[in-house]
Amino acid sequence: MQADNRETIFVEDAVVLQHQPLPAGQYLMRLAAGDTASQALPGSFIHLRCHDDLPMRRPMSIMRADAGAGWIEILYKVHGSGTKKLAAARVNDQLSLLGPIGVPFKQNNYRSKPLLIGGGVGIPPMVFLAERMCKQTDKQAGGVNPLVIMGSEIPFPFTPRPSRIMIDGIPNHVTACMPLLEDWGVASRLASKQGYSGCYDGFVTGMARQWLENMDADQRQQVEIFSCGPTPMLRAVAHLAQAFSLPCQVSLEEYMACAVGGCAGCAVPVYQNGKLSMQRVCVDGPVFAGNAVYPLNHDVT
Amino acid sequence: MPSGNEQLAIDFCGMQFNTPLVLLSGCVGFGEEYTRVKGFSNRDVGGVCLKGTTLAPRLGNVPHRIAETYLGMLNSIGLQNPGARKVVDEYLPKLDFDETRFIANICGSTIEEYVEVARIFNDSGIDAIEINISCPNIKEGGVSFGNYPEMSAKVVEACRRVTGKPLIAKLSPNQTDIVENARLCIEAGSDALAVINTVMGMAIDVERRRPIIGSNQGGLSGPAIKPIALLKTHQVYQACKDKRIPIIGQGGIASTNDALEFFMAGATAIGIGTALFYDPLACKKINEGIVQYLDKRQLGHVTKLVGALELNSGAVEDCGGG
């Protein structure tokens, strides 16, 4: 089983190319990591040593990867001792990372209306996935038309702007979007309960439900949900997908030690074919079927 | 002067080890997981201890299973494993025994279970069997055996009856007299000793007023426990060296200097666990560092370091002063 996995994870001394502070203790970091960048896929993560004084690494989702230029980008929020030390990293500092790690989101045969839902630090993989989808769209007959819904209870890690892309089923006053996605031609909308201008006043799942309820059954058949974010949000997203009988993939996070499948420290309960197993978020995931980790009426976490 | 590889190759209970390093049970899955990492090779170590294995499959403990602590980490995996039969039938055939020696790690909640698991591995291609008498995470299992020398010895004795493969008793630091435990395990037929397993500990999330670990407590590993492990290795070596029972010294070893300390304290082999989480390529670096140390002092082979510690005189009264 393992032979074809050999030498798929690289150990790199990555140089910090950019490190940009954003509102509310959030940071955008670009790292020169050519091997990781060349193999990274949406859902892949790195295991990053934040500082020499803290040998335990932190798993971080990859937000963007440029194979040609050899860089990756991560977005993080200062939360504990590791990210606090990471925030002090300067351009040209060197950080050890392992990457890319994990089973990514599916890479093809998308339904025509993918719905990407990202919450907080779960936003980065949704950006990566949206970028790959829009790049693939040009090549595909019929095309893929993703909608990205993002939620945050702290200021978004970018400056929202009113979208020029109309979306059926989303209230007219909800106009705030992520400029980067808009520039790629990907529709996006933002949700928050903090009263931010142009945002949906509520949870991401509330806005997603409205969007889904506005469709007829045939249109809904073209929807597939991809999500990353805090556990309560992911559970709600997975349950929403099951309520509408839609396929759904969620990317999980869990405390990790090795991140290569050796320690089973990150294992979570997963139901498959009516059977419970413990699967490792690092190499069996981080992407799992939503109904396998958050089955309706059968939560154990 | 022999080359690096010759300097590091050792005989361990009749097994030929490429180097004195041993990857520790619970850190490297069932032997292949770290080969995902480019640059890592099982050939850099003498042995790989597979994940703790019970007779029946176990799902293990609920998340969170790990917590970072100062200079270390807690873990409480709960012996998640697919059961001995499946390990032997489906996992062992996929291992490359040309690369290194693979060592099973067996656990049970009764002596009969230990024996049955030992019997299953005895009828396999596994190179040796480590007895996890000190597994601290399972309430009905390891801790009650490993913390009592007589109970530990009974497990070793029972397993000894069903296998001719090298047996390694893995001793717990969570007991009053590890030396007595070592002595009884040797008398019961253990061919080698692993010193030490993790030290039990706890971490609390003060916001939630709950332990971070899902099963409340866990085994502490990493550099935080190295001085404890080093002393236990020294004590066990001093008490047992006449019996020529080799020790795998383990507990927080993360550098060449750490490894050298354990050799001098009496370890024949060096266990590497949590250090892999810090640096998956640590073994290569430690091997190179050991060779450099040997060459600089023209010591030749690594076995020259084993038990080479020279003790200080201690109290002033003991050295003729005052």
For B25-50, give the DSSP string.
TTTSTTTTGGGGBTT--GGGSSEEEE
Mutate to test the interface with B, among A2, A39, A51 (most CBs of B within 10 A): A2
What's residue B5's pLDDT?
Answer: 84
What's residue B315's pLDDT?
Answer: 81
- Tell me: pLDDT of A73 over 90: yes
pLDDT tens per residue, chain B (322 residues)? 556 689 999 999 999 999 999 999 999 999 999 999 999 999 999 999 999 999 999 999 999 999 999 999 999 999 999 999 999 999 999 999 999 999 999 999 889 999 999 999 999 999 999 999 865 435 444 456 888 899 999 999 999 999 999 999 999 998 889 999 999 999 999 999 999 999 999 999 999 999 999 999 999 999 999 999 999 999 999 998 999 999 999 999 999 999 999 999 999 999 999 999 999 999 999 999 999 999 999 999 999 999 999 999 888 877 666 5
Q: Does residue B283 carry a catalytic annotation?
A: no
What's residue B135's pLDDT?
Answer: 52
Q: Tell me whether residues B60 and A278 touch, CB distance under 8 A.
A: yes
Closest residue of B to A54, CA-based?
Answer: B71
What's residue A280's pLDDT?
Answer: 98
**Is residue B314 included in any domain, yes or no?**
no
- Band (A63; pLDDT cuts 50, 70, 90): very high
pLDDT digits (tens, 9 = 90+) for A86-142: 999 999 999 999 999 999 999 888 999 999 999 998 999 999 999 999 887 655 556
Q: Tell me whether residues B63 and A263 touch, CB distance under 8 A.
A: no
Residue among B191, B76, B70, B88 at smallest CA distance from B138: B76
Give Cα B161 to chain centroid, integer Å: 23
Chain A residues touching residue B66 (CB < 8 angstroms): 255-257, 263, 265-266
Q: Tell me whether residues B277 and A57 touch, CB distance under 8 A.
A: yes
Q: Looking at CA atoms only, how far is residue B143 from chain A in angstroms?
A: 20
What's residue B78's pLDDT?
Answer: 93
As a whole number of angstroms, the distance between CA B64 and CA B73 comes to 12
What's residue B159's pLDDT?
Answer: 97
CATH number 3.40.50.80 given to A113-251: yes
Chain A residues touching residue B272 (CB < 8 angstroms): none
What's residue A4's pLDDT?
Answer: 77
A40 touches chain B (CB under 8 A): no
Instruction: Write down the domain spans for chain A.
Output: 6-101, 113-251
**Is residue B163 included in any domain, yes or no?**
yes
What's residue A274's pLDDT?
Answer: 84
Q: What is the DSSP letter of B303?
A: G
Give the B window 17-76 contacts with A, CB below 8 Å.
Answer: 26-29, 32-39, 51, 59-60, 62-68, 73, 75
**Is residue B33 included in any domain, yes or no?**
yes
A10 touches chain B (CB under 8 A): yes
Q: Tell me whether residues B80 and A264 touch, CB distance under 8 A.
A: yes
**Beta strand A287-289 pairing with A248-251:** antiparallel
What are the start-end ranges of the H helices in B81-193?
84-86, 111-122, 142-146, 149-160, 178-187
What is the mean pLDDT of the segment spanning A211-224? 96
- Tell me: pLDDT of A298 over 80: no
Chain B residues touching residue A268 (CB < 8 angstroms): 63
Handedness of CA B190, B192, B196, B200 (dihedral sign): negative
What's residue B137's pLDDT?
Answer: 38
**Is residue B90 included in any domain, yes or no?**
yes
Chain A residues touching residue B254 (CB < 8 angstroms): 55
Q: Report phi then psi at A270, rounded to 5.
A: -135, 130
pLDDT digits (tens, 9 = 90+) for B232-266: 999 999 998 999 999 999 999 999 999 999 999 99
Is the previous residue joined to B196 through a cis bond, with omega within 30 degrees of 0?
yes
**Is residue B137 included in any domain, yes or no?**
yes
What's residue A136's pLDDT?
Answer: 76
Q: Tell me whether residues A2 and B63 touch, CB distance under 8 A.
A: no
User: Would you state the CATH architecture of domain A6-101?
Assistant: Beta Barrel (2.40)
Mutate to test the interface with A, among B28, B45, B68, B90 (most CBs of A within 10 A): B68
Q: Nearest by CB to B66, which of A7, A8, A255?
A: A255
At a CB cut-off of 8 Å and minimum separation 6, what does B7 contact?
A: B290, B291, B294, B300, B301, B302
Closest residue of B to A261, CA-based?
Answer: B33
Kindly report the CATH number assigned to the domain that includes residue B39: 3.20.20.70
Q: Tell me whether residues A267 and B39 touch, CB distance under 8 A.
A: no
ipTM over 0.90: yes
Catalytic annotation, pick one of B49, B135, B159, B240 = B135
Share of chain A above pLDDT 90, in %: 89
B237 touches chain A (CB under 8 A): no
- Its domain, for residue B110, covers 4-305
Total domains in the fold of chain B = 1
As a whole number of angstroms, the distance between CA B185 and CA A13 comes to 45
**Is residue B310 included in any domain, yes or no?**
no
Q: Tell me whether residues B94 and A49 touch, CB distance under 8 A.
A: no
- Tell me: pLDDT of A301 over 70: no
What is the mean pLDDT of the segment spanning A258-274? 95
